[in-house]
Amino acid sequence: MTDTLTINSEIALAKAQKQLADLWRENKYIEVDIRRKAKQRTLTQNRALHLFCQWLADTLNDAGYDMRRTLRQDVELPWTQESVKEHLWRPIQKAMTEKHSTTEITTVEPTAIHEVLSRHLGQKLGVTCPPWPKRDQEAA
């Protein structure tokens, strides 16, 4: 018999503990296979990522750092939400998590990626990175 227990709350943890105790008393033998899985980023975090990328694009453009000045010297291009995501966010994400898509990152990884990106832009360009958006913030 194989059962899968998903423990994602204190209540689920208490139920799993009871179930394991009951199985132990019944059989006097249990094998448990534990798989740690971080929760995938939420839709709210995805919206926050896109809002942050837009804010950062605006910040870089306002500071005079177009894509040419920041990345390449041959073409002057203003930053966009998508270019921030592709050329700034994603390379750091891939280096830190080995995940290409933002749909694969966990709920804790955006904060860590944001911290690294903020530190990098501050040290290399002297640009203060926008803070991570809060739930009630929307694009201006």
Identity of the residue numbered 83? S
Query: In the numeric block, which tokens belong to residue 26?
Result: 């019944």
Q: In whole angstroms, what is the distance from residue 39 CA to residue 15 CA?
A: 20
* CB-CB contact of 16 with 7 (8 Å): yes
Q: What is the DSSP letter of 71?
A: T
Q: What is the DSSP letter of 106?
A: B
pLDDT tens-digit map of 32-51: 888 777 777 888 888 899 99
pLDDT tens-digit map of 43-97: 888 889 999 999 999 999 999 887 776 666 666 778 899 999 999 999 999 999 9
Tokens 């998590």 belong to 97
Query: Residue 140: what pLDDT?
Result: 47
